[in-house]
Amino acid sequence: AFAQAVAAGSAPLDALVCNAAVYMPTLKAPLFSPQGYELSMATNHLGHFLLIQLLLEKLAGNGSGKGSGGVQKRLVVLGTVTANSKELGGKIPIPAPADLGDLAGFADGFQDPVTMANGKAFKPGKAYKDSKLCNMITVTELHRRFHQQTGVVFASLYPGCVADSPLFRHSFKVFQRVFPWFQKTVTGGYVSQPTAGERVADVVSGEAFSASGVHWSWGNRQRQGRQQFIQELSQQGRDPAMAKRLWELSAQLVAESAQAEGMDGTA
Structural domain boundaries in the chain? 2-260
DSSP per residue, 211-266: -SSEEEEESSTTSTTPPEEEPPPPTTTT-HHHHHHHHHHHHHHHHHHHHHTT----
Of the pLDDT bands very low, low, confident and very high (cuts 50, 70, 90), residue 103 is very high
* 36-54 residue pLDDT tens: 999 999 999 999 999 999 9
Opening angle at CA 253, ends 248 and 258, nearest 5: 120
| pLDDT value for 161 | 73
2-260 belongs to CATH 3.40.50.720: yes
Distance CA 93, CA 89 (A): 10
* 205-241 residue pLDDT tens: 999 999 999 999 987 665 666 789 999 999 999 999 9
Of the pLDDT bands very low, low, confident and very high (cuts 50, 70, 90), residue 126 is very high
Q: Is cis: bond before 34, omega within 30 of 0?
A: no
Kindly state the DSSP code that residue 197 receives in the 8-state scheme. H
pTM of the model: 0.89
Distance CA 5, CA 116 (A): 33
Of the pLDDT bands very low, low, confident and very high (cuts 50, 70, 90), residue 170 is low
Of the pLDDT bands very low, low, confident and very high (cuts 50, 70, 90), residue 133 is very high
| pLDDT value for 79 | 96
CB 65 within 8 A of CB 152: yes
| pLDDT value for 224 | 66
